[in-house]
């Protein structure tokens, strides 16, 4: 991984600095956060601590934790309960720890705290308002009434249209190239899911020389993929023709083992969706396996064919790669900082339930300088 310093990150994230400067005094705020523990989050964590907030942080995905980032966050004054590849039980304890911390506010990527509280019937802490960053978290909350207002910033146009649509594709293929030293030229690439992440994965795969196919279960999005010029069909139909398969759905076992058994010899499997189980991993991991290069494991199927799995099926761009560019993530993180400003001010008086982060709030993060 590139050794990016806080100074280098801060220098290229002026919108984050501006959003932090506009935050009120946070000394009465106890904020439990769950998020990817990536170096690019550091300017926000330092900024929140400087504004006086008490922070508790765990990860939203043990596979994406960077232990050096955890050390930096602790040095800034945050309580951090996370380490790379922490087991599920320890992660669950860390989520419970974020509740025991007695937060006044939550900032989540995957709704882990809220889901934990609502599923376990744990006595509700004095949470006044929350913020949710991911489609997977919003989907988890569907049909449920959380006991406080939660502001969804996954669906604000700038995040969907910029980060999800442009950055995930670029950075996923960058991770694929840097870890395998293979490009997509002359390769059939199957993209599973055609939300904004899938759309970006497909467009970037073509830009990097691949021949793209798209599998979708939503008929409207399948049609959209066809209008965008991709070959379309179901996973079961298209996967046996693919050399590289990438999932980006937020769904469970969208690439089932029954399909993996029929793949071409040498097919690569990677995931950029939130969940580690988008690819049905258990039967795959039980097969004879070797690790020819870092971040790639090669699994021998009963047929004698081999498939290669990137980053153990975890989010490829964040585990085997560096994630977003600093300049692009500046906007995403500034929206998050503005969102935190909103939940500690006006957001607290909103009705219980999920709301979209209002336009003027995220709009401030996008405004040009000058
Ligand atoms: N890697 C990253 O850095 C990163 C960044 C942003 C979002 N994400 C994650 O990527 C995932 C997708 O995000 P999005 O914004 O595009 O979500 P989205 O919900 O808009 O789109 C997902 C699409 O997948 C389709 N889908 C679901 N199950 C399927 C199946 N079995 N076969 C084919 N298609 C299926 C859905 O119909 C939908 O169109 C989410 O899990 C999100 O959290 C990852």
Q: Tell me which of 41, 199, 238, 249 to substitute to probe ligand 1's pocket, judged by most ligand atoms within 8 Å of the beta carbon.
A: 249
Would you put residue 272 in left (φ > 0), alpha (ψ -120 to 50) or beta? alpha
The CA distance from 272 to 258, in Å, is: 21
Residues 116 and 171 in one domain: no
Domain of residue 305, CATH code = 3.40.50.720
Q: What pLDDT score does 314 carry?
A: 95
CA of 261 to the centre of ligand 1 (A): 23
User: Which structural domain, as residue segments, surrounds residue 198?
Assistant: 166-319
Ligand 1: which residue has its CA nearest to atom 30? 254
Q: What spatial distance separates the first Cα and last Cα of the chain, rounded to whole Å?
A: 35
Task: Report the C-alpha gap between 135 and 116 in whole angstroms.
Answer: 17
- Cα 144 to averaged position of ligand 1 atoms, centre (Å): 20
The answer to whether residue 287 sits within a structural domain is yes
Query: CB of 170 closer than 6 A to ligand 1?
Result: no
Do 309 and 340 sit in the same domain of this protein?
Answer: no
> Based on the domain organization, do 192 and 305 belong to the same domain?
yes
In a domain, 1, yes or no: no
Q: Are residues 143 and 212 in the same domain?
A: no
Q: Are residues 308 and 199 in the same domain?
A: yes
pLDDT at 61: 93
Q: Which residue of 195, 200, 259 sits with most ligand 1 atoms within 8 Å of its CB, as the best mutation to test the pocket? A: 195
Domain count, the chain: 2
Nearest residue (by CA) to ligand 1, atom 12, is: 249
- pLDDT tens digits, 332-353: 999 999 999 999 999 999 999 9
pLDDT reported for residue 273: 95
Sign of the CA dihedral with 309 first, then 312, 314, and 315 last: negative
Q: Same structural domain for residues 260 and 148? A: no
Nearest one of 103, 104, 106, 126 to 115, comparing CA atoms? 106
**369 vs 260 pLDDT, higher one:** 260
Angstrom distance (rounded) from CA 306 to CA 303: 9
Q: How far is the CA of 74 from the centre of ligand 1 (A)?
A: 32
Q: Is 59's C-beta closer than 6 angstroms to any atom of ligand 1? A: no
Per-residue pLDDT, averaged over 85-110, amounts to: 96
Q: Which atom of ligand 1 is nearest to the CA of 196?
A: 16
- Section 238-267 average pLDDT: 97
301 and 329 inside one domain: no
Q: Which pLDDT value is given to residue 322? A: 86
Q: Encode pLDDT of 110-130 as tens digits.
A: 999 999 988 887 777 789 999
Given the CA of residue 136, which atom of ligand 1 is nearest to it? 43
- Is residue 177 located within the same domain as residue 294? yes
- 278 Cα: distance to centroid of ligand 1 (angstroms): 10
Query: Residue 11 C-alpha to ligand 1 middle, in angstroms?
Result: 32
Q: Answer whether 140 contacts ligand 1 (Cβ < 6 A).
A: no
Indicate whether 349 belongs to any domain: yes
Same domain, 14 and 138: yes
Range 311-317 average pLDDT: 96
Identify the residue whose C-alpha is closest to ligand 1 atom 10: 273
At 196-212, the pLDDT tens digits run 999 999 999 999 999 99
b/e burial code for range 197-215 (CB count within 10 A of at least 16 → b): bbbbbbbbbbebebbbbbb
- Angle 251-252-257 (CA atoms, 0-180°, nearest 5)? 130
Residue 238 has pLDDT above 60, yes or no: yes
- Check pocket membership of 197 for ligand 1, CB cut-off 6 A: yes
Same domain, 177 and 260: yes
| Same domain? 170 vs 314 | yes
- What is the rounded average pLDDT of the residues 87-114? 96
Q: Does residue 317's CB lie within 6 angstroms of at least one atom of ligand 1?
A: yes
pLDDT band at 369 (very low <50, low <70, confident <90, very high): confident
313 shares a domain with 172 = yes
Q: What integer is the mean pLDDT of 4-24?
A: 92
Average pLDDT value over all residues in the chain: 95
193 CB less than 6 Å from ligand 1? yes
Place 145 in a pLDDT band, splitting at 50, 70 and 90: confident
> What whole-number percentage of the chain has pLDDT above 90?
87
CB of 204 within 6 A of ligand 1: the answer is no
């Amino acid at each position: 991984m590139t050794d990016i310093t806080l100074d280098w990150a801060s220098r290229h994230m002026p919108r984050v600095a501006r959003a932090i400067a506009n935050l009120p005094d946070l000394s009465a705020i106890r904020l439990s956060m769950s998020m990817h523990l990536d170096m690019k989050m550091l300017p926000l964590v330092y900024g929140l601590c400087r504004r006086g907030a008490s922070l508790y942080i765990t990860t939203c995905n043990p596979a994406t934790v960077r232990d050096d980032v955890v050390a930096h966050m602790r040095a800034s004054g945050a309580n951090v309960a996370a380490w790379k590849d922490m087991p599920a039980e320890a992660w669950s304890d860390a989520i419970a720890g974020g509740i025991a911390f007695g937060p006044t506010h939550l900032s989540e990527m995957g709704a882990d705290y809220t889901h934990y509280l609502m599923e376990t019937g744990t006595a509700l802490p004095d949470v006044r308002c929350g913020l949710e960053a991911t489609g997977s978290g919003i989907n988890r909350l569907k049909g449920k009434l959380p006991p406080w207002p939660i502001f969804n910033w996954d669906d604000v146009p700038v995040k969907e249209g910029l980060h999800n649509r442009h950055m995930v594709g670029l950075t996923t293929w960058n991770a694929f190239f840097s870890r395998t030293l293979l490009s997509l030229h002359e390769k059939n690439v199957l993209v599973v899911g055609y939300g904004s992440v899938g759309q970006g994965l497909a467009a970037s795969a073509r830009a990097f020389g691949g021949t793209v196919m798209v599998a979708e279960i939503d008929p409207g999005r399948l049609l959209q993929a066809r209008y965008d010029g991709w070959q379309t069909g179901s996973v079961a139909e298209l996967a046996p023709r693919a050399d590289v398969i990438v999932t980006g759905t937020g769904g469970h076992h969208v690439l089932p083992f029954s399909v993996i058994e029929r793949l071409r010899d040498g097919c690569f499997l990677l995931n950029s969706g939130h969940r580690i189980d988008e690819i049905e991993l258990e039967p795959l991991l039980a097969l004879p396996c070797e690790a020819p290069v870092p971040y790639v494991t090669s699994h021998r199927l009963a047929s004698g064919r081999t498939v290669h799995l990137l980053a153990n099926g975890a989010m490829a761009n964040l585990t085997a790669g560096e994630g977003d560019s600093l300049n692009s993530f500046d906007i995403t993180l500034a929206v998050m900082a503005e969102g935190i400003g909103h939940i500690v001010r006006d957001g607290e008086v909103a009705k219980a339930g999920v709301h979209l982060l209002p336009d003027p709030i995220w709009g401030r993060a996008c405004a040009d300088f000058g």
